[in-house]
Amino acid sequence: MPFNISSFKENGLVYGGARPSLFSVTLNVPQGIGIDNVSVDKFRFMCRSAELPPSAVAAIDVPYFGRRIKIGGDRAFGDWSVNVMNDEDFAVKALFEKWSNAINRMQSNVRDPNVSTEEYKQDLMCTQYSKDGIKIREYRIIGAFPTTVAGIGLDWDAQNTVETFGVTFAYDYWVPEIETSDKKAGGVNAYRPESELDGPLGPE
């Protein structure tokens, strides 16, 4: 019954609902371009907001006797963005500026000769946690690199605020590393192993 509260509790928000504040983003960065591990680790704490990655399947119109039938087309993956707090050491801001500069240098409009295309494209991880701190969903974002490192607004009237900036990534595709949890079956750690994932999202 749609108006039965007990049914809603039993079949709807059984675990209280996933919370958008319980997340983390983990970076991998190219080697040999001056990015230290301290800055990479600091990013995990400075990433203020992100999103679980999107994707879309296009629809193809097929004409048939004056009508159009829709069938599934190719899958496309849109850009993925994060919003980052800036500290006075500018460590995380500099991280993304160095990464971007390795892809295409500010002055010469060429790629850093020490970094190949395979090297500047890295895998990122976006993780959703439960209220008890357990990973309940995790996405590996494959072949990502920053396309935009946004500016930071400065304002003499600004008070009681911390600077933030956005970073937009292009990427090849994403796959779920943790696809489902099995709390009902007993235990918040009882996840289906990756080897049992069905179809093309499973291990290659």
Residue 167, classed as helix, strand or coil, is strand
55-95 pLDDT, tens per residue? 899 999 999 999 999 999 999 999 999 999 999 999 999 99
User: Mean of the per-residue pLDDT values for the chain?
Assistant: 87
First to last CA, the chain: 43
Radius of gyration of the CA atoms of the chain, in A:
21
Please report the pLDDT score of residue 202 as a whole number: 42
Query: d(Cα 135, Cα 184) in Å, to the nearest integer?
Result: 16
- What tokens does 98 get? 């160095």
Q: What is the pLDDT of residue 70?
A: 96
Write phi, then psi, for 95 (nearest 5 degrees). -55, -50
pLDDT of 49: 97
Q: For residues 31 and 114, give the distance between their C-alpha atoms in angstroms, rounded to a whole number.
A: 9
* Alpha-carbon distances of 190 from 12, 128, 183, 186, 193, rounded to whole Å: 21, 16, 7, 7, 9
Q: Show the tokens assigned to 180.
A: 């489902």
pLDDT of residue 3: 73
- Percent of the chain residues topping a pLDDT of 90: 69
Q: What is the pLDDT of residues 99-141, one digit of tens each?
A: 999 999 988 989 998 888 889 999 999 999 999 999 999 999 9
Q: How many CB atoms sit inside 10 A of residue 120's CB?
A: 21
